Structures are given as structure tokens and as C-alpha cells.
Amino acid sequence: MLRRLQFIVIAAVLLVAAFSTGLPFLFYLVYLAILVVGGSYVVTRLGLSDLEAGYAVRQLHGHVGERLKITYTLRNTSRIPKPWLEVHNPTSLPGGLPGRAINLGPRGERSWLIRAPLARRGHFRIEPLQIQTGDPFGFFEASASVGQGVSVVVYPRVEPIPQWRIPAASLEGSHSAPERTLQTTPLATTVRPWAPGDSMNRIHWKSTARFGEIQVKEFDLETTADAWIVLDLQREVQTGRGDESTVEAAIRAAASIADKAISENRSVGMTVNAHRLAMLPADRGARQHLKIMQLLAAVDGDSTTPLDEVLVATVSRLRRGMTAIVITPSLASSWVRPLSTFRSRGIGCVAITVDADAYDRHAREQDARASGRPPLEPDGAIREQRAKRVRALRHALAEYELRTYVVVPERPLGEILVR
């Protein structure tokens, strides 16, 4: 805008001087300026005419650490070359998407592929494709928006835990659940008349022959294979920064355990103590896997509800034979007693604690490494208070004989759970 204003002032002064003095040289400059400005305007107006453009996102979701593949295509359908085109996608993805400046000859076409790394989980937006052009002197600009914006969901990173098995609750007897599952399980309980949408592999042929009409099997969930994950995201107990924080470590652990359980055809339910208490009923299959990943992609460590209240609210959703897996960085021992009462209901219990002190120390070391200064140490009274809370929590977990795993930074989850 400033350059254009300067050009207008210079042109006005030159025009006044030419008509005032009548010098041929000044008139030559006026004609040259008119030719340059007019040519620049025409080049700019023709820069986006007869141009076809588009982009395609290979997939609208992925996990942290993967790459998002986007294909761009520009085609010039006219005989007039496009000497300068700037193409880019505005986006809320961390790091953005790389743009490109290209030129197209007559009837020319260009295509390219970019692989954008997915560095952070969450819901992001890719805006419509923006194409800009102009003249060599920068007098005029033209832009166009192509396509529609799309939403991209980045799921948390799933770490492999091949050698870990979810412990089953010890049951001396069980009863059938009142609800039937849509999934096929080893527990076929009843038969019912066929209804539209029932698969052919559910037909029970003996009952069909007996009743004279098609009968299909109904299945019950395998109670000893169920798992319920309780993820604690209370704001007051979180520490660390970025990918190496207690929030991200707890979410990665929950995603990895859910992925492992569903891949073993187990039924998984989840309670997430986020901004609002979210509960997913237990189910299995790809649809449940998608629900869990979408939930974990959207939550953050901003809850105000303590973990013990969350466990009390969750106990009514659990049934005999389930295994409750609690993931928390909390050092308070008040949540251990509600968890221990689950065993009297025939529910197995596993506690996965995220070492908040280790993540806090890791964040201080990273800051010290970046600034070149020695790491700041907390006050001695604060360290002593933390040590007391850690000892109290370990004593409470050992007193109730709860199986416990401790997650620390820069250590694979599969190695931690095996130990």
C-alpha cells in the first residue's frame, strides 16, 4: 500500500512537470509509466484466469509422529503463461504447511506432494487453498481462494506394549449382563428371530430348523476380558511441558492400553476427568477404538474434580469381572482407598502413576540446557513435602496390595509395564 501511494505521488508530480515545462523527456517518462502500469495491471488480471487448482488430503486423521500427506495440482488451460504464482494453505497445524512459488507455461501443469509432520494431538483446521499473483514491480496483486477447508484430528501417540497383558479379575461366578453386545464374542447366550441387518454368520441353524423360521444368536460380553480406564487430568497435579509433561504421558498411556486391549478383542470403557467428566460405555471393535482416540485427542489437563470423586462416580458403571486401570500423576493417597474397594465387587485393579516429580525435574533440566545455566532446584521444604507424599502414596498402594507401575520421562511405556 505504501509503495502504491508513493507511485501515485511520483506519477502526479511527473505529469504536472511534463505539462508545465513541455519537455519531451518528461513526456517520454509519462508514456513509459503508463505503459508499465498498464502492462502490470493486465499481467495481474490474466495471472489467475483460466487456472485450475485443487488439493487433496490423503487422510483426515493420524497419530502424533505420523505425517499428513497433501497433494496439490495446478493446471493452466490457456496459452498465456503464468510467470509467478504463490500457493499456500493457512492452517492451525503446529509448524504450518509449506507454501510454494511456481510458474506455469502455456497448457502447463504442476503437481507435488508434501508430508507435514503431526507434532501435537488435537483438532486442527486446514483452510481453503490460497493462490496469489502479481506483477514484477509489485504495483498490483490478485488472489483467489480454492476449495473448502477441512478438519484434521491428530490422535495421541500409541506406544507398543507387546509383552503386557491386562490382568483379569478373579471370579468365582458371574452372571449375564442385561444388555447384549453387537460384537461377536465366544459367549452366545440366547437366540431371537432374524431382523433386517443381521449377519448371515449369526444364524443358529438348529434353532431355525426347530422353530421353522430364521433364528440368530445373541452374544454377551466376556466379563473377565473387560477393561475400564480411568484417566486423571486434574489441573492441580499436572507438571512438565510440551510432549514431556504428565498430561501427555498419561494420555499416551491410556491410548496405548486401550489400543492393546481392543486389538485383543477386549471390551474397553473409559472415564476421563477433563474439563467435564466424560464416560464411554464399554464396547469393543474399531468403532470403540475411534471413539476413544477422538476423546483423547480433545481433552486437556484442566479438570477441577479430584480423582477420588471420579472413582466414586465411576464405580456404578463397572461390573464384576472388569479390570479398572487408573492412570494419574496425583500424589494424594486419598484415591487409593476407593480404588481398593473395587476388589470387593469382583473388579481387578491396576494403578499406573505418572512420576510428577521426575517430569518437573526433566522440564527444569531442559530449561537449563536451553539457557546454559544450572537447573533451578525447588526449596528444601517443598522437596521434603513431596518426598513425604510419595512415601505415603507408595505405602497406601502396598498396604492394599495394588499392582502399580510408575511412568517416568524418556522411557518406553512397554518397558515400564513389563517391569
Domain of 74: which CATH number? 2.60.40.10
The answer to whether residue 174 scores a pLDDT higher than 50 is: no
For the chain, what percent of residues have pLDDT higher than 90? Answer: 32
- Asked, for residue 373, whether it belongs to a domain, the answer is yes
Amino acid at position 263, single letter: S
- Asked, for residue 329, whether it belongs to a domain, the answer is yes
Residue whose grid cell is 464405580 = 315
Same domain membership, residue 72 and residue 12: no
Same domain membership, residue 272 and residue 124: no
Please report the pLDDT score of residue 184 as a whole number.
Answer: 59
| Torsion angles phi and psi, residue 280, rounded to 5 | -110, 120
The answer to whether residue 179 scores a pLDDT higher than 60 is: no
Residue 90's alpha-carbon distances to 33, 84, 246, 383, in angstroms, are: 36, 19, 31, 46
Same domain membership, residue 197 and residue 61: no
Q: Report the length, in residues, of the chain.
A: 419
383's grid cell? 522437596
- Which tens digits make up the pLDDT trace of 119-155? 999 999 999 999 998 887 777 788 889 888 999 999 9
| Torsion angles phi and psi, residue 199, rounded to 5 | -75, 155
- Asked, for residue 163, whether it belongs to a domain, the answer is no
- Which tens digits make up the pLDDT trace of 248-283? 999 999 999 999 999 888 889 999 998 889 999 988
Give every strand in the sheet of 277-283, ordered side by side: 277-283, 268-273, 227-232, 323-328, 348-354, 403-407
Q: Domain range holding 64?
A: 51-155
**How confident is residue 175, by pLDDT bands cut at 50, 70 and 90?**
very low
Instruction: Evaluate the CA torsion angle 253, 316, 310, 392 in order and state its sign.
Output: negative
- Asked, for residue 174, whether it belongs to a domain, the answer is no
Please report the pLDDT score of residue 171 as a whole number.
Answer: 47
- Which tens digits make up the pLDDT trace of 303-324? 889 999 999 999 888 888 889 9
Residue 103's alpha-carbon distances to 45, 84, 117, 313, in angstroms, are: 16, 5, 27, 62
Most confident of 2-16, 151-165, 355-369: 151-165
| Torsion angles phi and psi, residue 288, rounded to 5 | -65, -40
**Cα–Cα distance between 305 and 162 in angstroms, integer?**
33
**How confident is residue 172, by pLDDT bands cut at 50, 70 and 90?**
very low
- Which tens digits make up the pLDDT trace of 74-108? 999 988 888 889 999 999 999 889 988 888 888 89
Q: State the Cα torsion 77-79-84-87 to the nearest 10°.
A: 0
- Which tens digits make up the pLDDT trace of 218-233? 766 554 558 999 999 9
Strand partners, 403: 350
Please report the pLDDT score of residue 130 as a whole number.
Answer: 92
Q: How many CB atoms lie within 10 A of CB 210?
A: 11
Listing DSSP states for 218-243 in one string gives EEE--GGG-EEEEEE-BGGG--EETT
The answer to whether residue 240 scores a pLDDT higher than 90 is: no
- Which tens digits make up the pLDDT trace of 368-382? 777 777 666 666 677
Where are the extended beta strands (E) located within 274-347?
A: 277-283, 323-328
The answer to whether residue 173 scores a pLDDT higher than 50 is: no
Same domain membership, residue 201 and residue 121: no
Same domain membership, residue 128 and residue 80: yes
- Asked, for residue 182, whether it belongs to a domain, the answer is no
- Asked, for residue 170, whether it belongs to a domain, the answer is no
Among 155, 172, 195, identify where a domain stops: 155
Same domain membership, residue 199 and residue 136: no
Q: Give the single-character DSSP code of 91.
A: B
- Which tens digits make up the pLDDT trace of 199-221? 777 888 888 888 888 988 876 65
**Cα–Cα distance between 303 and 275 in angstroms, integer?**
5
Q: State the Cα torsion 242-248-252-255 to the nearest 10°.
A: -130
| H-helix or E-strand spanning residue 388 | helix 380-399
CATH code assigned at 404: 3.40.50.410
Among 220, 240, 263, identify where a domain stops: 220
The answer to whether residue 186 scores a pLDDT higher than 60 is: no
Please report the pLDDT score of residue 7 as a whole number.
Answer: 65
Same domain membership, residue 237 and residue 196: no
387's grid cell? 518426598
Same domain membership, residue 360 and residue 344: yes
Please report the pLDDT score of residue 340 as a whole number.
Answer: 87
To the nearest whole number, what is the mean pLDDT of the chain?
Answer: 84
- Which tens digits make up the pLDDT trace of 46-82? 888 888 899 999 889 999 999 999 999 999 998 888 8
- Asked, for residue 345, whether it belongs to a domain, the answer is yes
Same domain membership, residue 62 and residue 39: no
Same domain membership, residue 329 and residue 405: yes
Residue whose grid cell is 480454492 = 146
* 225 or 359, which is more confident: 359
Please report the pLDDT score of residue 255 as a whole number.
Answer: 95
Same domain membership, residue 320 and residue 195: no
Per the structure, the count of domains in the chain is 4
* 385 or 292, which is more confident: 292
- Asked, for residue 161, whether it belongs to a domain, the answer is no
Task: With CA atoms as reference, report the closest residue to 87 among 114, 68, 59, 64.
Answer: 114
Number of H helices, E strands in the chain: 10, 20
Same domain membership, residue 288 and residue 315: yes
